[in-house]
Amino acid sequence: MFQLTRDEFESLKFRFGTSRWGGTRKLPRAFTEQGVAMLSSVLRSPRAVRVNIEIMRAFVRMRRVLVAHAELAQKVGQLEEKVAGHDQAIRSLVAAIRQIIESPAARDRRRIGFLPRRA
C-alpha cells in the first residue's frame, strides 16, 4: 500500500468526477497488485473474497490494455517511419520528373515519325 501524491489525487478526482470541495484532509492510499494479493490472505469473508477476485481481474485487464497500447504505439511508429521513407522517395521522383520536363534538350528534340504531306 502507498499514499498517492497530490498530483495523482487531483488526476483521479478529475477522471472520476469527484467533488472538488469534498472534505479530504489526508491523501488517500492505494494498493499495489501484490498488496491486494496479501490482503486476500488476511480477509476471509465470502464478500471480501469476491471483491478481491474482482480487484485482481481489474489488474489483469489493466495489464492487457497497457500491452495493447504498447503494441499499437510500436506499430504507429513503424508506420510513421515507412511513410517518411515514401515521402522522400516521392519527392525525389517528382524532382526527377520536373528536371526531365524542364531540360532544354527535351523541348528542342526533333520529332520522330511521319510528317503529314502538304498539298
Per-residue pLDDT of 17-71, as tens digits, reads 555 566 567 888 888 878 877 877 787 788 888 888 888 888 888 888 888 888 8
Domain ranges of the chain: 31-105
CB 1 within 8 A of CB 39: no
The string of pLDDT tens digits covering residues 78-118 is 888 888 778 778 888 888 888 887 776 655 666 777 777 77
Q: Secondary structure of 6-52 in the HEC alphabet?
A: HHHHHHHHHHHCCCCCCCCCCCCEECCHHHHHHHHHHCCCHHHHHHH
